[in-house]
């Protein structure tokens, strides 16, 4: 089932992919107060459940299994799922049914059995039946009543009501009833002790819908599950995402840290600062094409490989589209296909969209957490972009997710010998990392082998550029936005003495009056079964 979603890349170094699921009668806007705290370290996917996004009402009754698959289609290949109220139950369902897609699960003001049982606190069954009947009779009036129930126990109920009313909710009655049926029927108590993923359950002291008293039987249920945590938020009601966003965000981060789920790269070496990469290329957008000779040559050669891959794709993803230089070539080759241009750098995307207005899609996104539905593209074209991805297995898992069966990705990347002359010249004068480091082809092959259903063939080719002076190479790298992005790059200005020593060392590579700069380019063809 296609769902409405919003992908927000991390504003800093991404340490986790988070998918946030809202509750009954709400939508993704309930999470907005948390974003300022979460986005410095996490990529965020906000999902609207059926009937909850603004737009035309759809009165079909959604099936729970279809909704879960729709959530997965909007989400990265593996993520932490955090759900509020009904969203918490959906997160538990995902972790139970699709554990390989879930790194951890966190619930907020959520009850594994929403309707009370003899041995379990919750909403009384008669009260729930009355409310369901009210929704069936008059959904708008029932939703207003529900809002009043949600603000019970808060210190500022009027302010919270205003926030709810500003969310632009347009749910359809049948879809509201479907959500109520899930709340009534789901009993996840047996799932939780057997859950293979770390779990965090945050309850609220003054919650009028999910009583804080749930904490006691929940703790007994999970007594033998060391990866499970339960906390009660003091002074907070059911609308915890609006009332206590900072506490929720910090609690989630502490939980993930304790579970060792905040990554810093596949091998513990997050060498590239992705935000710096995005910012640098954004600034370079307007001047990029004036110095991108190598990029054009490599991309043109990559285009020549397409004849042997996809003959008539229906959707083409230009991954790392940059300024949109290859847009025209791809459109000419596949005029009937939907074109999607995606880049990490917002400035590049805005520039490309301005150059190529029309019916194409231009998206800002991370190749390791693509904001695309599963099985939505036939062909991925990516030239000199994925070298900025430091988790190749995540990258290939995402490509496997968005490619349709039989789909293909052709790509180029930079290998570790890129600019070895410049690296050698700097090494002659100090021990700092002055040149970007990139993964070898063997690492890409190993990562692809770890993803079921993928086949990768790679080859390497050297491209040699020549310059009268080193300064021209350095200026070109700066104009391209491809200067040193290593996290451990030296801070401050390089001394004149050090710079002069590097220039002298580089002179040892001069041939026939020119200084070479070698690019180690990896060509890859990735096929999905």
Element (H or E) spanning 361, and its range?
A: strand 361-364
Strands 377-383 and 403-414: parallel
Q: Is 355 helix (H, G, I), strand (E, B) or coil?
A: helix
**Final residue in a domain of this structure, among 258, 290, 320:** 258
Residue 467's pLDDT band (boundaries 50, 70, 90)?
A: very high
Q: What pLDDT score does 483 carry?
A: 67
Residue 155's pLDDT band (boundaries 50, 70, 90)?
A: low
Q: Are residues 282 and 408 in the same domain?
A: yes
Q: Are residues 155 and 24 in the same domain?
A: yes
Q: Are residues 54 and 116 in the same domain?
A: yes
Q: Are residues 197 and 251 in the same domain?
A: yes
- 197 in any annotated domain: yes
**Residue 173 pLDDT > 70:** no
Residue 265's pLDDT band (boundaries 50, 70, 90)?
A: very low
- 498 in any annotated domain: no
In the block, residue with structure tokens 């070298």: 387
User: Of all residues in the chain, what percent carry a pLDDT higher than 90?
Assistant: 60
- 513 in any annotated domain: no
CA-closest candidate to residue 365, choices 395, 403, 320? 320
Q: Are residues 146 and 235 in the same domain?
A: yes
Question: Does 85 qualify as catalytic in the annotation?
Answer: yes
Each residue's pLDDT tens digit, 406-419: 999 999 999 999 99
- 512 in any annotated domain: no
Q: What pLDDT score does 268 carry?
A: 34
Out of 207, 289, 318, 378, pick the active-site residue. Answer: 207
**Final residue in a domain of this structure, among 208, 230, 258:** 258
- 81 in any annotated domain: yes
**Residue 29 pLDDT > 80:** yes
Q: What pLDDT score does 270 carry?
A: 46
Q: What pLDDT score does 481 carry?
A: 80
- 100 in any annotated domain: yes
Q: Which residues pair with 21 in a beta bridge?
A: 47, 83
* Tally of domains in the chain: 2
**Residue 165 pLDDT > 70:** no
Q: Are residues 190 and 89 in the same domain?
A: yes
**Residue 5 pLDDT > 60:** yes
> How is residue 472 written in tokens?
């021209």
User: In which domain, by residue range, is 160 found?
Assistant: 4-258
Question: Does 168 qualify as catalytic in the annotation?
Answer: no
Residue 267's pLDDT band (boundaries 50, 70, 90)?
A: very low
Q: Are residues 122 and 56 in the same domain?
A: yes
> How is residue 181 written in tokens?
């049926």
**Residue 54 pLDDT > 80:** no
**Residue 234 pLDDT > 80:** yes
User: Of all residues in the chain, what percent carry a pLDDT higher than 70?
Assistant: 90
Q: Are residues 360 and 445 in the same domain?
A: yes
Q: Are residues 246 and 325 in the same domain?
A: no
Give the count of alpha carbons within 13 A of 143, CB side only: 22
Each residue's pLDDT tens digit, 126-137: 999 998 898 888
Strands 228-233 and 4-8: unpaired
Q: Identify the weakest region by mean pLDDT among 73-82, 132-141, 169-178, 435-444.
A: 169-178
**Residue 450 pLDDT > 90:** no
- 509 in any annotated domain: no
Q: What pLDDT score does 371 carry?
A: 83
- 75 in any annotated domain: yes
CA-closest candidate to residue 22, choices 121, 77, 69, 89? 89
How confident is the model over 177-193, as a mean pLDDT?
92
**Cβ atoms within 10 Å of 162's Cβ, excluding its own:** 10
Q: Are residues 325 and 217 in the same domain?
A: no
Q: What is the CATH number of the domain that holds 303?
A: 3.40.50.150
Task: Quickly list DSSP for 439-482.
Answer: --HHHHHHHHHTSTTEEEEEEEEEEEEEESSHHHHHHHHHHHT-
List own/partner pairs for 131-135 with CB under 8 A and 24 or more apart. Answer: 131/180, 132/177, 132/180, 132/184, 135/173, 135/176, 135/177, 135/180
> How is residue 488 written in tokens?
């451990």
Q: Which is higher by pLDDT, 490 or 196?
A: 196
Q: What is the CATH number of the domain that holds 169?
A: 3.40.50.1820
Question: Does 173 qualify as catalytic in the annotation?
Answer: no
How confident is the model over 100-122, as a mean pLDDT?
95
Q: Are residues 355 and 297 in the same domain?
A: yes
Each residue's pLDDT tens digit, 278-331: 888 999 999 999 999 999 999 999 999 887 555 789 999 999 999 999 999 999
Each residue's pLDDT tens digit, 324-363: 999 999 999 999 999 999 999 999 999 999 999 887 899 9
Mean pLDDT of the chain: 87
CA-closest candidate to residue 215, choices 203, 229, 233, 197? 203
**Final residue in a domain of this structure, among 258, 285, 306:** 258
CA-CA distance, 137 to 131, in Å (whole number)? 10
Out of 201, 206, 238, 325, pick the active-site residue. Answer: 238
Out of 75, 85, 376, 383, pick the active-site residue. Answer: 85
**Residue 269 pLDDT > 50:** no
Task: Quickly list DSSP for 407-429.
Answer: EEEEEEEE-TTTTHHHHHHHHTT
Q: Are residues 303 and 187 in the same domain?
A: no
Report field, pTM of the whole predicted structure over 0.85: no
Q: Give Dmax (Cα) for the chain.
A: 90
CA-closest candidate to residue 397, choices 267, 266, 278, 271? 266
- The full length of the chain comes to 529
Q: What pLDDT score does 203 carry?
A: 97
């Amino acid at each position: 089932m296609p769902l409405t979603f919003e992908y927000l890349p991390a504003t800093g170094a991404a340490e986790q992919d988070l998918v946030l699921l809202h509750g009954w009668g709400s939508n993704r806007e309930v999470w907005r107060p948390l974003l300022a705290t979460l986005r410095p370290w996490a990529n965020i996917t906000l999902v609207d459940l059926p009937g909850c996004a603004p737009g035309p009402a759809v009165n079909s009754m959604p099936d729970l299994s279809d909704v879960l698959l729709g959530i997965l289609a909007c989400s990265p290949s593996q993520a932490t799922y955090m759900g509020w109220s009904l969203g918490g139950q959906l997160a538990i369902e995902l972790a139970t049914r699709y554990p390989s897609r879930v790194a951890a699960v966190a619930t907020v003001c959520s009850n594994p059995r929403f309707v009370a049982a003899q041995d379990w606190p919750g909403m009384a069954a008669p009260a729930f039946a009355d409310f369901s009947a009210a929704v069936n009779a008059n959904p708008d009036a029932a939703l207003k009543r529900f809002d009043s129930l949600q603000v019970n126990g808060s210190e500022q109920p009027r302010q919270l009501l205003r926030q709810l009313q500003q969310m632009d909710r347009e749910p359809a009655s049948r879809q509201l009833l479907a959500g109520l049926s899930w709340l009534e029927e789901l009993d996840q108590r047996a799932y939780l002790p057997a859950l293979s993923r770390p779990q965090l359950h945050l309850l609220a002291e003054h919650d009028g819908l999910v009583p804080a008293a749930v904490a006691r039987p929940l703790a007994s249920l999970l007594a033998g599950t060391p990866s499970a945590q339960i906390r009660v938020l003091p002074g907070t009601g059911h609308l915890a995402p609006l009332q206590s966003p900072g506490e929720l965000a910090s609690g989630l981060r502490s939980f993930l840290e304790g579970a060792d789920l905040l990554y810093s790269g596949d091998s513990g070496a997050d060498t590239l600062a992705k935000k710096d990469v995005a910012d640098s290329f954004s600034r370079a957008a307007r001047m990029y094409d004036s110095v991108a000779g190598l990029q054009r040559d490599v991309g043109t050669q990559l285009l020549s490989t397409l004849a042997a891959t996809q003959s008539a794709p229906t959707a083409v993803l230009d991954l790392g589209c940059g300024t949109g230089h290859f847009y025209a070539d791809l459109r000419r080759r596949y005029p009937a296909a939907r074109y999607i241009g995606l880049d990490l750098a917002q400035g590049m995307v805005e520039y490309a969209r301005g150059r190529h207005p029309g019916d194409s899609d231009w998206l800002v996104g991370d190749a390791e957490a693509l904001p695309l539905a599963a099985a939505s593209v036939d062909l991925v074209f990516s030239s000199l972009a994925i070298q900025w991805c430091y988790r190749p297995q995540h990258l290939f898992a995402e490509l496997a997710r968005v490619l349709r069966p039989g789909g293909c990705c052709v790509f180029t990347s930079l290998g570790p010998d890129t600019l070895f002359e410049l690296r050698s010249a700097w090494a002659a004068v100090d021990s700092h990392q002055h040149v970007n480091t990139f993964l070898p082809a063997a690492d890409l092959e190993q990562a692809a082998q770890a993803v079921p259903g993928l086949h990768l063939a790679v080859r390497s080719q050297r491209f040699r550029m020549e310059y009268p002076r080193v300064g021209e190479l350095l200026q070109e790298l700066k104009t391209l936005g491809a200067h040193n992005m290593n996290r451990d790059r030296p801070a401050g200005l390089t001394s004149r003495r050090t710079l002069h020593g590097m220039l002298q060392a580089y002179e040892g590579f001069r041939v026939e009056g020119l200084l070479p700069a070698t690019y180690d380019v990896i060509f890859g063809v990735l096929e999905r079964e």
